[in-house]
Amino acid sequence: MAGGYDGAELNMELFWVLLFSGVCPLVWGQGVYAPANAQIVHSGAACNVKDDNISERIYTIKEGDTLVLQCIVKGHPRPQVRWTKTAGSASDKFQETSIYNETLRIEGIQRVQGGRYYCKADNGVGVAAIKSIRVDVQYLDTPVLTVHQTISDVRGSYYQEKTVFLRCTVNSNPPARFIWKRGSTLIEQSKDNGVDIYEPLYTQGETKVLKLKNLRPKDFADYTCQVSVRNVCNIEDKSVTFRLTNQTTPPMIRLSVNDTVVVDPGQDVVLTCEVIAGFPAPTLTWSHYPGPLPLSAQVRGATLILRAITPDDAGFYNCTAVNNVGNPAHKSSNLIVRTMSNLTFQITPDSNKDSETIQMGRDLKLSCHVDASPQDKVNYTWYKNGAPVFNSDNLILLRSDPDMAPGTSSLEILEMKFRDLATYTCVANFPGSRVPELRVDVNISQNSVSPPVLSVPPGGQVVSVREGGNAELVCLVVDGKPRPPILWSRTERDLLMPSGVSAVETPDGRLKLKNVSRNMMGAYRCQTAQYNGLNIKRREAQVQLNVQYPPILSPVFEDRRSRNYQMVTLRCTVLRSNPPRLTDVRWFRNGELIRTPMPDLKETPELKFKLEPTNNGSYECRVSNIAGTSACTFNVSAQPYNAEFYFDTPNPVRILKGNNYSYNLQWTQKDPKATDRIIGYWINIQKNKQILLSKQIDLKGKEPESGVLISHIIPDLRIPLSYEVRLAPITTYSTGDYVSRIIQYSEPYTYPRPSDHVCGFEDERICGFSQDRSDVFDWTRQNHLTQNPKRSANTGPETDRSGTKEGYYMYIEASRPRVPGDKARLVSPLFNVTSVRAPKGSSRVPYCVSFYYHMKGKHIGTLNVLLKVRSIASVDSVVWTKSGHQGPDWKKAFFDISPSGPFQIVFEGIRGPSFEGDIAIDDVSITLGKCKQEQNTVGSAGKTVLIGGSHFLSLSSGLTFGLSCFLLLLYR
């Protein structure tokens, strides 16, 4: 292949010399280091990025646009990047979940998502690198105009003074500028004594008030409040208009129902909100609390209809009338839906005598309670043997018992006699309601009421169950009438039941637990409830739940490397176990049992042996108790650890001659002293699973050192192809596992200043170029492999500028739905050139713009190149243009510019008269200095390019690398 590999030997056309403090080794260098030089770069829809007076970067974006931030950092091993956000500069609490990714992307950003964003990079070496940027989300809402008026009597006169306040309020960032108009005439306070314009102090710049003093006939007019943020982020002005007349009045309303409405389930409810005053005509809205209006609710003008009401529909229904005059009018009604459930009773023996049984001659109280809504509207009726009970000398009815829960009715029997032994019935109902009544019978006789006796069955005090199984805790009422339900709870304070509640009621005293886990282990309390039985001191007992689980071991897995013929000791530590007594310990190698003397089950399991080439493998220690078996696994090997690729390698070097590039592959060796001496590495390079190169890298007797970089130059790679590189260390006894990475040609994401770099659009980030949001359609990035197979013939390029089918370029598609005259604009990054000095005798710095264009087709339109200079107002000027068919080949264009300040280059493609009009561009460069007729390109014969200082070169992984020394590139 041209410019590729021919055979197994490398053609060393290019080599690198890295100079560190004057001495820069060719192969070896320091490699492991903490994250450093963290940098946040941006793309997406930024309006502006600036530094404020405390050197903080501020990223300005319009609400609803897409925020894209990328954290660029160097470090080895490759750092993990975490994004977090604070609410603002005064807060140190993270308000959002961390995002572990180099790129942070927020679609449709909202105002509440503004704040300071941090990227933190950590690789476990040294101190983490942290960088922050403040995101300022800018917006302008539609203003709200409200009118307030006052009428005050003036003593000694026969007239009233009427003052009107027009209050205009808006939410915006940055603060909005307000303009008042009467009709179409601007209102200026200095030119009209009848008006006063001011800003209330407490609104922080979001409100302006227009005060009309002693209202005049001409003041009855249309008033417009216009707000503006001065086109920041292309946010257009907004306005609101109000017509002021002598009939302007605030709203007044009344409801057709009372403040509280009580209804039965299933009824229809109609609420009408009548407007009795207000001009302009108020707007009525209905709302519900808590929650939204029911799905069955129907709003017809001023009427709210609720069909077949349910208990879930209860709550406050609010009617609000607004006409922006004065304050809104509010009326509300509390809708209560009648419900009754869970009727319970209690039997209280004579509490004055501390009695727990009923006895003749002593007092007895029967209590009845129902959960109802509304609770205070429940009617209780007591019956004795079916006959109604009325107050008498020894029978006292309490409508609401103060000693019980609210809404409880009690029947007190004083000095019980034999005639009081009977069946008592409590009936609860709503008078006149369709809600069914509830009743409960309580039989009072000498042998029907006795205190309960609580008992745990023999052997049930401790319940043992294996983790994951089911358990039943039993606590029975073996004696006592009537028998109350049993309440279960945890004995340890603040511990909830497995279902998440504090107590669980069981009618038969049996608590069933499913899928038991170890955190459910502990003591459970069972006790008699104080309802549906005797209201006496609770009986209680305890049941212990014991959850058995297999041993918890450490380590679960360990990768153990060692030199051959050295002793290896493997230990499997038991951290916890229930029951703690072990029943068996066995060692296995590659699944086969290792016969060893019977181990002491009270000691830490341990295995010692001499590592030889024949006993490498997977060792497993299986430890058992009666609940199950767990295992420690050890991968024991004399193979070296894997190599770790160095991701901070500088960007691959592009050589225009032959369209090739080379890559300086760098890596470190993890713990090289752990195994036998490493003498070299196997390297193979693949393309589409086809091996292009396989060879051994000889270290020439020098052993790898921990944390020290090893380098190897891979030349003759073809732009823009990507390759898979596989690398494995070699020892005197064995070869390690291969690790792989993809080498892919990549271009700088953005430029801090114009450079000699040529942008071929090979990377999806297209060198920081962006689509102009004000154009009609976009430029498209494609190559021969990604283009539409049904594309129009006889137009557009077949390959990129270099003739490579895999190479990318940018083009405009002229087919439908495009129409003649449609424009697509591609905008370069902003080049801040204020720090560059102009030549002597000149006030401006010259730059050379160079690119290739392809304009084949009989319907080709126009390609314009515009210079966009940022100053007080952005100015676009055409600096190059070409129209019509220019032949089937790529052609080169270059020209000089001398901008007066920070600038951008805009490529504008204009669609021609029909579909055979695709225009393409490729290999764009913007360099300092005037253009030369014969461009000196990187890779020319005999050319030496010196890049000095601390420039940033982009990585294929999206990181950057700061060279603290000179990088010398030599070519033959």
Tens of pLDDT along 542-569? Answer: 999 999 999 999 999 999 999 999 999 9
> How far apart (Å, rounded) are the C-alpha atoms in residues 9 and 829?
42
> How far apart (Å, rounded) are the C-alpha atoms in residues 60 and 563?
58
Q: What is the pLDDT of residue 914?
A: 87
Most confident option among 148-152, 658-662, 684-688, 967-971: 684-688
Do residues 929 and 915 lie in contact, with contact meaning Cβ atoms separated by under 8 Å?
Answer: no
Q: From the CB of residue 4, how many other CB atoms can be counted at a distance below 10 Å? A: 17
Q: What is the pLDDT of residue 815?
A: 84
Most confident option among 80-94, 185-199, 630-644: 630-644
Do residues 16 and 969 lie in contact, with contact meaning Cβ atoms separated by under 8 Å?
Answer: yes
- Tell me: pLDDT of 762 over 70: yes
- Tell me: pLDDT of 186 over 50: yes
> How far apart (Å, rounded) are the C-alpha atoms in residues 924 and 855?
16
DSSP 3-state of 872: coil
Fold of 766-834+844-928: Jelly Rolls (2.60.120)
Considering the chain, what percentage of its residues have pLDDT values greater than 90? 57
- Tell me: pLDDT of 730 over 90: yes
- Tell me: pLDDT of 85 over 90: no
Region 63-73: what's the mean pLDDT?
Answer: 88
> How far apart (Å, rounded) are the C-alpha atoms in residues 3 and 803?
13
The residue written with tokens 């897995």 in the block is: 557
CATH number assigned to the domain with residue range 252-337, chosen from the 4 options 2.130.10.10, 1.10.10.10, 2.60.40.10, 3.40.50.2000: 2.60.40.10
- Summarised one tens digit per residue, pLDDT across range 117-137 is 999 999 888 899 999 999 999
**Which has more confidence, 114 or 21?**
114
Domain formed by 34-88+97-139, architecture:
Sandwich (2.60)
Q: What is the pLDDT of residue 928?
A: 85
**Which has more confidence, 351 or 788?**
351
- Structural domain spans, the chain: 34-88+97-139, 144-243, 252-337, 341-444, 453-548, 552-637, 643-744, 766-834+844-928
- Tell me: pLDDT of 156 over 60: no
Most confident option among 193-207, 487-501, 715-729: 487-501
| Whether CATH 1.10.287.70 fits 144-243 | no
> How far apart (Å, rounded) are the C-alpha atoms in residues 806 and 474?
75
**Which has more confidence, 566 or 85?**
566
Kindly report the CATH number that applies to the domain delimited by 453-548: 2.60.40.10
Do residues 634 and 558 lie in contact, with contact meaning Cβ atoms separated by under 8 Å?
Answer: yes
Cβ-proximal residues to 308 (8 Å cutoff; 6+ apart), any chain = 266, 267, 268, 296
Mean pLDDT score of the chain: 84
CATH superfamily of the domain spanning 552-637: Immunoglobulins (2.60.40.10)
Q: What is the pLDDT of residue 152?
A: 55
Which of 440-454, 614-628, 844-858, 872-886 is predicted least confidently?
Answer: 872-886
**What is the three-state SS of 611-640?**
CCCCCCEEEEEEEEECCEEEEEEEEEECCC
Do residues 416 and 424 lie in contact, with contact meaning Cβ atoms separated by under 8 Å?
Answer: no
- Nearest Cα neighbor of 513 from 477, 541, 546 is 546
- Tell me: pLDDT of 2 over 50: no
Q: What is the pLDDT of residue 753?
A: 55
- Tell me: pLDDT of 838 over 80: no
**Which has more confidence, 36 or 575?**
575
Confirm whether 552-637 and 643-744 share one CATH topology. Answer: yes
Q: What is the pLDDT of residue 654?
A: 64
Q: What is the pLDDT of residue 835?
A: 53
Q: What is the pLDDT of residue 655?
A: 63
**Which has more confidence, 526 or 598?**
526
Cβ-proximal residues to 627 (8 Å cutoff; 6+ apart), any chain = 466, 467, 548, 549, 550, 578, 579
CATH superfamily of the domain spanning 341-444: Immunoglobulins (2.60.40.10)
DSSP 3-state of 111: helix
| Whether CATH 3.80.10.10 fits 643-744 | no
pTM confidence score:
0.64
- Tell me: pLDDT of 22 over 90: no
pLDDT band at 20 (very low <50, low <70, confident <90, very high): very low
Residue type, 781: R
Region 69-95: what's the mean pLDDT?
Answer: 71
Pairing type for strands 115-122 and 46-51 reads: unpaired
- Tell me: pLDDT of 7 over 50: no
Do residues 906 and 772 lie in contact, with contact meaning Cβ atoms separated by under 8 Å?
Answer: yes
Considering the chain, what percentage of its residues have pLDDT values greater than 70? 84
Greatest C-alpha distance within the chain: 127
Q: What is the pLDDT of residue 123?
A: 87
Do residues 68 and 749 lie in contact, with contact meaning Cβ atoms separated by under 8 Å?
Answer: no
